[in-house]
Amino acid sequence: MKVKEKKIIKKKLEEIGKSVVEQAKNHKVPYLRIPSRTTNNIVFDPKSLCYVIGNKTIMRSAGNIRHVKPMAQMLKVASFCKDLVEEELKHETKRGLYYISESWGEKLKFDEQPESDNIIEDIEAMIGEPRENFHIIPNPGGAVYGDLTLKFKNPSGKMMKINCLQTADGQTIGPRMSEAEIVECNAKRVIAIETSGMYNRFMEENAHKKFNAILVNLEGQATRATRRLIKRLNEIKKLPVYIFTDGDPWGLHIAMVIMAGSAKSAHINKMLATPSAKWIGVTATDIKKYKLRSDKLKDVDLKRIKELKKDPRYRSDKRLLEELKTWEEIKKKAEQQALLKYGLRYVVDEYFPAKLKEMEKK
Amino acid sequence: MKVKEKKIIKKKLEEIGKSVVEQAKNHKVPYLRIPSRTTNNIVFDPKSLCYVIGNKTIMRSAGNIRHVKPMAQMLKVASFCKDLVEEELKHETKRGLYYISESWGEKLKFDEQPESDNIIEDIEAMIGEPRENFHIIPNPGGAVYGDLTLKFKNPSGKMMKINCLQTADGQTIGPRMSEAEIVECNAKRVIAIETSGMYNRFMEENAHKKFNAILVNLEGQATRATRRLIKRLNEIKKLPVYIFTDGDPWGLHIAMVIMAGSAKSAHINKMLATPSAKWIGVTATDIKKYKLRSDKLKDVDLKRIKELKKDPRYRSDKRLLEELKTWEEIKKKAEQQALLKYGLRYVVDEYFPAKLKEMEKK
């Protein structure tokens, strides 16, 4: 994070406390106004193509005996996070924060982790920043490989530059990686891949050169850190993003969360989602076209397809709706590695170029 | 892998096919002799402190109609893997191999993945090499951070050297990382950590400098690639290994699998296990001593403890048996992050040095 950004975050966190102090000084009963994150304040925004938070707010007032404790806890958490931002090199997880609260005394400590998690999300919504920016970090996960040079302070605080080809199996995407400064990027696109097996295939077949791409290993559902890095490559370097998953509703939804975020994270989707990202496949149509070895869709898969068909994120995308219907017709799912029946190189030599051409026409 | 090792592996794979050809030439009905991997041939070896495979073998004979298909499949898989080793840069996963078999025609293709998995394990047992060595790779997972310089060919085949401090969040441990040549290692020990949160704490508190250590993020149960890297650091560089997990029977067993392998992998435990590795904690005793925030042990936890008490890997270790009993007494479990109640630095400044001293006395 740059010095300027750091100052802004610190100030936003301080403001929470300051407003309470101000009110008390003016002999008013202090309160905090927090954007409501309940379902009736989450709306689908057809412009940004993701769930966003509405205008409703809730009030937490020192005049309400039931509000006093969570209000004090929120101030304490904001203050703790301000210190983390100030120290610059220190980060903690949500679970770590929960345990740390034990040292805050009986009145402030959290009894259960959902309480502290909830306050962290409230702060995210209040200051409009993902928690990574106030150093409450998600687990690392996923990896990146390609001609991308990043600059960052490593965990020991040493400033360094790395190129993401300088690695045996990819660079882990954690809190420092996802926010690293992009010094140089010679790639023209990002290819995000669901499974480690297919990611390895792409690396070994030199897909990063062939497609002039940054390869990202999602390792299943993308972590926040990975989604953030993808978004930044898209936003800062204007790279189109292509997502390659297994051919089932779960794989498609992995792509959807990268594209449009989730309802639960409506208050920060703008910072995490990449609306222009495109799902390459394996589509239901591909299963037929490429005669892939497939399994029968189970009841739980079919139920999921029904849910997705009602979801506004899918209803605004004709192509995806069609694919959901095709699945219901063929009642089959296939894994991305099923393409290996045509040989190790086929997926990079034939399948992907054909799909890319198709997507770029649209 | 070095050229010499590569040649040996290739030869071992070739021998499988050659022996069949030889027998046929001599007008004998060809057969293959394969070490038996059934439970009655898995024994606990008190010397190496891990499960190993006994002397029983099974025979697969071309004279038995039920053996013909799996025998032919084994020859095909061995031949395919020989090609992978020859190509040097190509690796596939077990799942990938299953799908690849579709191109081998109706007579050779696998109907279900367990069939091909089984044949890969048979080959491991026959030639005494973990499948990584014949390029059937496990998923990557885990990460490493510390003053360790490794040399390897990256997925594009470019020879390179990296230092494992040259990274934002750690280097992913995948197939190339786990077998990389150790060029320089200035550390005196390895510290393997169960959770990403605590691993991050250790990196940020400069534990690698303080303890002169290589830090490894296990991300829960260690992957084979991670176990292999740990073993190699222990074997080649004589580094003692310390494992730091959550304070529950599951955490302890994460350590045990690193130390003694699993029964399922008895035929290759010698290549994966690090018998001299030591479990640091969080022990049951620590939960009492450090007054950690804890949860009640659930029925499933208590059941697990009972199982572990009967397991020969635990029965040969007085200290671990004592800890299992202590858990049964206190009926509580604690996560490693519970130590954060004493502040961010405590775990690295106080807890770990005390534990290390205790372990080094033993």
The two tokens of residue A304 are 């999921």
- The DSSP output letter for A331 is -
pLDDT of residue A139: 86
Half-sphere exposure of B177 (CA within 13 A, CB side): 33
Closest residue to A160, CB basis, from B166, B175, B338? B166
Q: Do B100 and A165 touch (CB under 8 A)?
A: no
Q: CA A305, A307, A310, A312 torsion: positive or negative?
A: negative
How many alpha carbons fall within 13 Å on the CB side of residue A305? 24
Residue B193: what pLDDT? 98
pLDDT of amino acid B184: 97
ipTM reported for the complex, 2 dp:
0.91
- Measured CA to CA, the distance from residue A19 to residue B146 in angstroms comes to 44
Which structure tokens are listed for A62? 């020192």
Provide the pLDDT for residue A1: 60
| Mutate: best of A167, A282, A347, partner B, most B CBs <10 A | A167
Phi and psi dihedrals of B86, rounded to 5?
-65, -45
pLDDT for res B1: 60
Q: Which residue of B has its CA nearest to A101?
A: B341
Per-residue pLDDT of chain A (362 residues), as tens digits, is 667 788 999 999 999 999 999 999 999 999 999 999 988 999 989 888 889 999 999 999 999 999 999 999 999 999 999 999 998 889 999 999 999 999 999 999 999 999 999 999 999 999 999 999 999 999 888 999 999 999 999 998 999 999 999 999 888 899 899 999 999 999 999 999 999 999 999 999 999 999 999 999 999 999 999 999 999 999 999 999 999 999 999 999 999 999 999 888 999 998 999 999 999 999 999 999 999 999 999 999 999 999 999 998 899 899 999 999 999 999 999 999 999 999 999 999 999 999 999 988 76
CA A27 and chain centroid, separation: 42
Instruction: Report the gap between the CA of A58 and the closest CA in chain B (Å).
Output: 31
3-state helix vs strand vs coil in chain B, percent to 5: 50, 20, 30
Please indicate whether, in this complex, the C-beta atoms of A156 and B92 are within 8 angstroms of each other: no
Say which residue the tokens 């800890």 belong to. Answer: B323
Kindly determine whether residue A168 and residue B174, on different chains, have CB atoms separated by under 8 Å. yes
List, in sequence order, the alpha helices (H) in chain B. 3-25, 65-87, 94-100, 113-127, 175-178, 196-204, 207-210, 224-236, 249-260, 269-272, 284-289, 299-310, 312-315, 318-330, 346, 352-361
Residue A5 has what pLDDT?
Answer: 85
DSSP string, B158-210: -EEEEETTSSSS-EE--HHHHT-EEEEE--SEEEEES-HHHHHHHHHTTHHHH
Omega before B282 cis (within 30°)?
yes
pLDDT confidence of residue B361:
78
Is beta strand A189-193 parallel, antiparallel or unpaired with respect to A241-244?
A: parallel
Nearest-by-CA chain A residue for B338: A99
Q: Do A337 and B150 touch (CB under 8 A)?
A: no
Structure tokens at A13: 């966190």
> To the nearest whole angstrom, how far is the Cα of A185 from the nearest Cα of chain B?
17
Domains annotated for chain B, with CATH where assigned, are 3-134 (1.10.10.10), 186-361 (3.40.1360.10)
**CB-CB contact of A155 with A184 (8 Å):** no
DSSP H helices in A49-174: 65-87, 94-100, 113-127
Whether pTM exceeds 0.90 = yes
Under 8 Å between Cβ of B320 and B310: no
How far apart, in whole angstroms, are the C-alpha atoms of residue A208 and residue A215?
Answer: 6
CA B322/CA A18 separation, integer angstroms: 53
Distance from CA of A95 to the nearest CA of B (A): 8
Task: Please list the pLDDT of chain B residue by residue as tens digits (362 residues).
Answer: 667 788 999 999 999 999 999 999 999 999 999 999 988 999 989 888 889 999 999 999 999 999 999 999 999 999 999 999 998 889 999 999 999 999 999 999 999 999 999 999 999 999 999 999 999 999 888 999 999 999 999 998 999 999 999 999 888 899 899 999 999 999 999 999 999 999 999 999 999 999 999 999 999 999 999 999 999 999 999 999 999 999 999 999 999 999 999 888 999 998 999 999 999 999 999 999 999 999 999 999 999 999 999 998 899 899 999 999 999 999 999 999 999 999 999 999 999 999 999 988 76
Considering only CB atoms, B196 lies closest to which of A100, A140, A340, namely A140
Nearest chain A residue to B173 by CA: give it.
Answer: A169
